[in-house]
Structure 1
């Protein structure tokens, strides 16, 4: 379950951050107007979807409205033929410090159970296109869970990750115990979940939670560069590759190998596989058509 930690909450009164779109950026309005996020396309070819969580006074606490907007934006980007990857980020102070505790404070067991509370959050992981989390500052509770729903995590050097729900008398409820354990192993995951302790960016990299760490002011641009690299490949084959990697968390090795082989064979029915291998033989750059 997502969580807004006490230390993060204590910063709210002093937060003066304002929503900003970087120079040269533009609001991507195809998915409609958003209240809690900023959405646009980035990259030299405008082929990277960009979602910025935008509740600065709350350190990007994940209210239900914000999460529904993130899912909506991802659906728009999934349907956009020009977009090959998506970057999700927050501010330099907080990727997301947790959930909006006021929204869940008075909920009952019956209400949570019958409404499948938080179940729709996992739709972030269902995005067809690769999603990169660019994490600066706090990624705690639901913020850590949101980052782990993404396919790649890049961290700013001052990032902090944690699942401190235990300090509120509850446990993670949006995949925290499951994805964290798969990412960093049982011992560290158990320690983080049972104590509420955080790990910093370098510890997160060493444990396998994040793939790269960058200076705070370079993080987003590096995530966009990664998104551009992914977008330059066949979007069709990228989706198949993502599906194959994700299957590794669900299947045995033998089953996973069989699943991979079926998808591998399926690439031979695509024009992009033929173009990629032909371009390699002819020593030229491939021109993928996503078909």
Structure 2
């Protein structure tokens, strides 16, 4: 009797789905947009003639990048009329990510905010080259640009990001301790203690999207940030009384973070950037309910 062996051929799209989402998320800044881009890429992959595809991974990244580029161009116009600062959608990550400085920086809220200041093409080149290590020649093929052109885009994007990028001098444990000190000071309502935690040039961004109470522009300086934070502590928020709020410590976008929960789900997430002295020099507070769905569902960012 001859046995029949069935070879299971892996689906290249499913094999690389997490990579495609990771690329699209860094390009677009929201899970919903990234998922839509990956879905569009799947439709093109399924409907196209793949007989001449020698490298499915590169081909799929090319499709996803171009779909994300189209979406990013239209998204940028919408974000210009966004109410208040626009922040990326927070996504949960595992604690291990925070220990990898390069990886955690590449997906941090601060880095994604910096990427928002690049042109769509610059952002695509930076993400593919600096984050995922694709060679310029391959990026040029993906974007239908010459290698010389994408090198120029990459150089310009890298200089721009270098001038504005977050600096993760502190390790994962130090950032966790700083986050704990920051939260204890905020909850204690002690402005003097909070001032000890904040760097003099600290900046606070709050994203309510016009749907919940939030500052309509970034707040700069330890005094102003400290007073704003102590002013909102102990007050009802989004119709939820302080007694009904719970705070849990998590990791978001590769950083130690906090989630403020109400009876019906998350009310906000808070991530902080920590300088070499262990003080908080950047705070990103996301309270737009539309951007808290992934955190509410426990979704983790694939890396």
Q: TM-score range by the shorter chain?
A: under 0.3
**Larger helix share, 1 or 2:** 2
By relative contact order (CA 8 Å, sep 6+), the higher-ranking structure is 2
Q: Which has the larger radius of gyration?
A: 2
TM-score (norm 1): 0.28
